[in-house]
Amino acid sequence: MNDRLQLSVGDIKLALGERSGEGRAGTVFEDRGYAITLHYPESLGQATVYVEDYVLDRPTEVRSEDGVMVCHWQQTDVFRNCFGLTAFRVEFSQGSTVYSPYIEVLSRKISPEEIMAMVRYLQSRAERIIQVGFAKTGLGMAPGGSTASIERAVDVAEEAVAAIEDLLVVRPSRIRRRLVERRVVKGYEPRDPVDDRSITYVLENLDKGALSPDPEKHALPVDLSGRRLYFSELDVVHKQESTDVYENRIIHGFLRSMHHRLGEIRSYLQEVYRELDRYYLEGAAEQSEEYTSFLSVCGYHVGRISRQTLDRIATLLERIRINEWRAQQLIPAKPLQEMPRNTPWFAVYPRYRRVFVSAQQWYMIRDEFSDLSRFLLRLRTIDRLYECVCLFQLVELFEAEGWQLHDASMMGLPGPLWGEMNNCYRFRSAEGELELLWEPPIPPHGSGEHLWNRVKVSGDSERFFAPDFLVRITHRASGKECCIVLDAKYGSEKSVFQHHLPKVVLKYTYGVAKSDELSQPPFQHTWVLAPIGRLLNYQWQLPEAGFKRTTVGVVGILPEARDVLRKWYREVVLKSLS
């Protein structure tokens, strides 16, 4: 560790580097005070220390020792608003920025049940989240590609295996066959047709003809140049049943495709499970009855889901192997791995029809798969988890209110989970157009940039502002445009009202506008999203001059409650557009 550039939190010493959040250095408690000391070279200038988005107050002591600045904060409760993995960020006036390793913050205010409620909400909507939320480029796919959850792939495979078992085990006599003609040299039977190939065989094998018939065998009499020869073997057309037909080839290829793809999914989940053991269970802090570890709770849930899915896949692979053997015995055919086309046999016979439908579903989703396991593990903090709940609650709200999502993409913004999650969602309806952005940067004053090229805002002269969500609604009937700032804050109603709401209002109502433009604030609505069960409108606390059509307040968002959010949209947002 470089003694000239380090940060100490109590007894924990943190090495500062250029990369954010590398490794994990220790555990702290959110309700305890810790002395913090920063050492850095004087040449770096003045230091500003952040814990996540919160800036530390002025240090209680600053001194210089042999060219090294020492800043000391005495017993600060800096972790009171943190839960999960958190890291320090130090910005110097000289222009450089350094980061600390992660520290896990344990909490006694938040129960495991609260975390699990949010995780279960996201897990229950895994298919939809993957469909609209996961960035296709982050999955190595071309824009417009489709993907499916692992849960969905396993469900389809289970239905498919059951359909194949129903065909092969319950009614093996109803399998698809056809008569196939083959040329064979065999013992002659009176019913065998004699054709040109048969005569050619006789002429080429005159030495096999007998002068008298064998009484124990059938023979074909042939008169040649005044003499009669009897042939007991002949080259004839032989017809026999064969199961090597298109429908059965599809079944063989289908089984092979599921065997291969489920094996890949199993390997992926085993790696997730190993990562979970390595970083989230073995490395998680020792829990007590008083404190909750976000990593342990989230890791336990992900591990349980992964373990259950692994068990289902292991059972499926065993059933697939058995059915591959049965198929080879009952319907031997060459495997064909492709999207099946409909045939009369697929259309008419119910058991083949069931296999056909399952195969179509499988081949539509087999190419790409994803799941929420690593996504949930990467959230790392309660705030980021709550942001994701709020994001998809907003998407569900807009869709329920008649807005149709027509584009979800990853814009070139340094937003959350860069490269993995879409951060731009565009909707349209008969009412107009709506755009939802996740953590867009608001440019500082004087940058010349315009938000959406329509709303001019100005922030701190050195830093970008980045609200959690920014909504722009263009109302076609009235021609009005409504811009909304939404900042998600996970905390009690008291802490949200006393600490979070004033900061959000100061930043996004006053802080982003020039002093001579307050008569037209850039955002009509500035609201905090919090896990409470009601709507709190504090518009009456704003000055009347310039803020008659501006609202501020707190809207409650809980994992399985939508009434408050719907009430806010209809009573606040829609009224401002009318």
Confidence of residue 313 (pLDDT cuts 50, 70, 90): very high
Asked if residue 293 and residue 149 are part of one domain, the reply reads yes
Q: Using pLDDT thresholds of 50, 70 and 90, give the confidence band for residue 16.
A: confident
> Do 256 and 302 share a domain, yes or no?
yes
68 in a domain, yes or no?
yes
More confident residue, 281 or 88: 88
Residue after which a domain boundary falls, among 334, 349, 375: 375
Number of domains in the chain: 4
Asked whether the predicted pLDDT for residue 505 surpasses 70, the reply is yes
Residue 182 lies in a domain: yes
Secondary structure (3-state) at 418:
coil
- Cβ–Cβ contacts within 10 Å for residue 280, how many? 21
pLDDT for residue 229 is more than 90: no
Q: How far apart are CA 463 and CA 458, in angstroms?
A: 10
Is the pLDDT score of 355 beyond 70? yes
Name which residue leads in pLDDT, 376 or 438.
Answer: 438
250 within a domain of the structure (yes/no): yes
Of 321, 347, 375, the position where a domain reaches its end is: 375
Phi, psi (degrees; rounded to nearest 5) at 534? -150, 175
50 shares a domain with 199? no
Could you count the other beta carbons within 10 Å of the beta carbon of residue 39? Answer: 19
Q: How far apart are CA 255 and CA 474, in angstroms?
A: 51
What pLDDT, in 10s, does the model give residues 148-158? Answer: 678 888 999 99
389 and 356 together in one domain: no
Distance from the first to the final alpha carbon of the chain: 61
Tell whether 403 and 491 lie within a shared domain.
yes
Q: Tokens 């196939």 appear where?
A: 180
pLDDT at 271: 81
Mean per-residue pLDDT of the chain? 79
Task: Tell me the two tokens of residue 198.
Answer: 């048969």
Dmax over CA atoms of the chain, in Å, equals 129
Domain holding 223, by residue range, is: 178-242
How would DSSP label each residue in 205-262? TGGG-BSS--TTS--EEEEETTEEEEESEEEEEEEEEE--SHHHHHHHHHHHHHHHHH
Q: Confidence band (pLDDT; 50, 70, 90) for 407?
A: confident
Q: Is residue 223 part of a domain?
A: yes
Residues 349 and 494 in one domain: no
Flag whether 117 is in a domain: no
Burial of 411 (0-12, 13-18, 19+ CB in 10 A): exposed
In this structure, of 10-19, 170-179, 384-393, the range with the lowest mean pLDDT score is: 170-179
Q: Is the pLDDT of residue 543 over 90?
A: no
Which of 375, 392, 419 is the last residue in one of the domains? 375
Q: Which residue has the higher pLDDT, 453 or 414?
A: 414
CATH number for the domain that contains residue 78: 2.60.40.10
Q: If you ran DSSP here, which 8-state letter would residue 440 be given?
A: P
Does residue 121 lie within any of the structural domains? no
The per-residue pLDDT for 460 is 45
Phi, psi (deg, nearest 5) at residue 115: -65, -45
Helix orientation angle between 150-165 and 350-365, rounded to the nearest 10 degrees: 160
Quote the CA–CA distance of 103 and 109 in Å, as a whole number: 18
Whether residues 293 and 157 share a domain: the answer is: yes
Q: Is residue 409 located within the same domain as residue 556?
A: yes
Highest mean pLDDT among 132-146, 362-376, 546-560: 546-560
The answer on pLDDT for 255 being more than 90 is yes
Element (H, E) at 353: helix 350-365
CA 360 – CA 346 distance, rounded (Å): 12
Question: Do 521 and 419 belong to one domain?
Answer: yes
